[in-house]
């Protein structure tokens, strides 16, 4: 299954028509149809709304790993929100992340990219981080 067929599965599981699903996701019925048929990729805004409105597990949506909907297990599912004092909450728990002006600027640029480019760069960053972790593990192993 791919992300588009998973998208369709979510709607069917919820028992919603394309019109009702579109209304909840703040898009049109026509766009829902295109997403389900795989004619267009799901934009980040729709993925975000799936998580926020229906508590869809994004990991499941993109990779079929885990459950379709979020459970209370913070290790696999992330719901990030900003509270009034400017701090972030992760699954309702207060967290502190040191983000500077440059980090925010990079995120803003990232959000302006086409969805396919966002996906590409996301995979590239994850691969680089994984390479660094493997390198550190190997260095530790041979000491």
Give 51-104 pLDDT, tens digit per residue: 989 989 888 898 888 888 886 444 444 555 544 444 555 555 555 555 667 777
Domains of the chain, by residue range, sit at 100-143
Higher pLDDT, 24 or 104: 24
Least confident of 7-11, 23-27, 127-131: 127-131
What pLDDT is attached to residue 73? 43
What sections of the chain are H helices per DSSP?
3-14, 18-25, 29-37, 44-54, 58-63, 101-112, 115-141
> CA–CA separation, 104 vs 121, rounded Å?
16
Upper half-sphere CA count for residue 121 (Cβ side, 13 Å) = 11
Give me the mean pLDDT over the 20-27 stretch: 95
What pLDDT is attached to residue 36? 95
Q: What is the dihedral sign for C-alpha 111, 72, 50, 120?
A: positive
DSSP category for residue 95: E
Q: What is the pTM of this model?
A: 0.51
C-alpha to C-alpha distances, 30 to 13, 18, 24, 79, 86, nearest whole angstrom: 20, 8, 14, 28, 37
Spatial neighbors of 33 by CB under 8 A, at least 6 apart, are: 18
Average pLDDT, the chain: 80
- Comparing C-alpha atoms, which of 52, 53, 41, 31 is closest to residue 6? 41
Least confident of 30-39, 80-89, 120-129: 80-89
């Amino acid at each position: 299954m791919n992300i588009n067929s998973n998208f369709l599965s979510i709607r069917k599981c919820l028992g919603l028509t394309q019109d009702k699903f579109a209304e909840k996701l703040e898009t049109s019925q026509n766009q829902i149809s295109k997403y389900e048929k795989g004619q267009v990729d799901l934009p980040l805004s729709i993925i975000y709304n799936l998580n926020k409105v229906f508590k869809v597990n994004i990991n499941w949506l993109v990779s079929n790993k885990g459950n379709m909907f979020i459970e209370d297990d913070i290790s696999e599912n992330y719901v990030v929100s900003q509270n009034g004092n400017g701090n972030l909450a992760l699954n309702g728990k207060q967290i502190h992340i040191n983000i500077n002006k440059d980090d925010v600027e990079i995120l803003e640029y990232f959000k302006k990219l086409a969805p396919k480019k966002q996906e590409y760069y996301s995979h590239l960053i994850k691969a680089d981080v994984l390479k660094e972790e493997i390198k550190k593990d190997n260095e530790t192993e041979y000491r």
